[in-house]
Amino acid sequence: MLLTITVPSFIPAAYTENALRKEMLVSTAWLATHLHDPNLVVLCIVDDEGFYSSGHIPGSTMVRLSDILTTRSGIPNELPSISHLQDVFQNAGVGNNSRIIIYGERSGMLAARAYFTLDYLGVADRAALLDGGIEKWRTERREESTLALPVRVTKLEVRTHPEVLVNIEQMDAYSRSIPGPAIVDSRPHSEYVGNELSEDVPKRGHIPHAEGLYWRNLLRNEALPSLKPPDELRDLFRASGAAPGKQVITYCRTGMQSSFSYFVAKYLGYKVRMYDGSFYEWSRSSLPVEP
């Protein structure tokens, strides 16, 4: 019997090696034009609710960072249960047909963490970050609102992708593999080289064979946090050992900064995973560190 295979009309660019995933990033101009699209959901990810209440993109819904994080076995910033995350995004209006645009505090870092969470849930193929965030939106003097509109709770089906996560045992094996994946440390250079201790971290240095690439170096500047051009971003990742076709694993102190590096690596077409326990967990084990 002849087997017929139906090929989906949309194949995510992540499966095309080193192809730029342009759909993962939208401009402020694009958002302003599509702000009233019926299936559009704009999420504002906050640690401080004042970031949202003082002025936000009209129609956007606030999601608290604390609602998509938990502490597990003493390790902060871990992923909560699937059912909890499903409820959080459903209550924010994310449904099965939603086109999701994300922005938030800390130059897009919180938005990137939300993207990583959606990727874990298997729905990030319909999500994008707002390039430049509300900072760029404001420089262009676009409309803002202080109204928190009622949210229509929706139904969201998820298909989790646990493979985006790396645990400490896997990280140990990767750190010993030569050749192995490109391990990218997203912390400031002073913490990577051990000149400074990361906050609440008992050891200096970094995971063996990791290369330092501070996540903020992926931005044009901090005041206007748009991504650097793709060619410049590729050069930065190549300098960190991410040759074409090589798997990338990101980590930082607790999995927040590395969420941004994860997003950019995926945007550039790399096969990427994240060690979300990061150096906070690693430094509390008996595993080795390098200066």
Residue spans of the chain under pLDDT 70:
1-17
Task: Identify whether residues 87 and 131 lie together within a single domain.
Answer: yes
| Residue 161 φ/ψ region, left for φ over 0, alpha for ψ in the -120 to 50 degree band, beta for the rest | beta
In this structure, the dihedral spanned by the alpha carbons of residues 260, 263, 268 and 274, taken in order and rounded to 10 degrees, is: 90
Say if 102 falls within a structural domain.
Answer: yes
Give the pLDDT of residue 34.
98
Q: Give the pLDDT score at 123.
A: 97
Alpha-carbon gap, residue 92 to 106, rounded angstroms: 21
Q: Does residue 25 sit in the same domain as residue 73?
A: yes
Clarify whether residues 129 and 197 are in a common domain.
no
pLDDT, residue 222, reads 84
Tokens of 248: 């990338």
In this predicted structure, what is the pLDDT of residue 226? 98
Strands (E) in 131-223, as ranges, are 182-185, 210-212
Q: Could you tell me if 225 and 132 are in contact, meaning their C-beta atoms sit under 8 angstroms apart?
A: yes
C-alpha span between 290 and 277 (Å, rounded): 18
- Does residue 21 share a domain with residue 150? yes
Last residue of a domain, one of 161, 182, 212: 161
**Domain final residue, candidates 161, 176, 210:** 161
- As to burial, measured by CB atoms within 10 angstroms (0-12 exposed, 13-18 middle, 19+ buried), residue 157 is exposed
Which domain range does residue 60 map to?
13-161
Q: How many domains does the chain have?
A: 2
Whether 190 and 151 map to the same domain: the answer is no
Residue 16, pLDDT score: 55
- Is there a single domain that holds both residue 115 and residue 179? no
- 291: in domain: no
75 domain-assigned: yes
Of 134, 161, 188, the domain-final residue: 161
The overall average pLDDT reported for the chain is: 93
Task: Based on the fold, state whether residues 146 and 170 are members of the same structural domain.
Answer: no
Q: Residue 7 falls within a domain, yes or no?
A: no
Residues 148 and 87 both lie in one domain: yes
* C-alpha atoms less than 13 angstroms from C-alpha of 142 in its C-beta half-sphere: 19
Residue 162, phi then psi, degrees to nearest 5: -60, -15
Looking at residue 278, which CATH number applies to its domain? 3.40.250.10
Query: Is-above-0.85 flag for pTM?
Result: yes
Residues 273 and 184 in one domain: yes
Residue-level pLDDT at 3:
26
Residues 120 and 236 in one domain: no
Q: What is the pLDDT of residue 245?
A: 87
Same domain, yes or no: 130 and 244: no
- In order of 29, 168, 215, 232, 245, the CA distances from 36 in angstroms are 13, 44, 32, 33, 39
Whether residue 141 is found in the same domain as residue 240? no
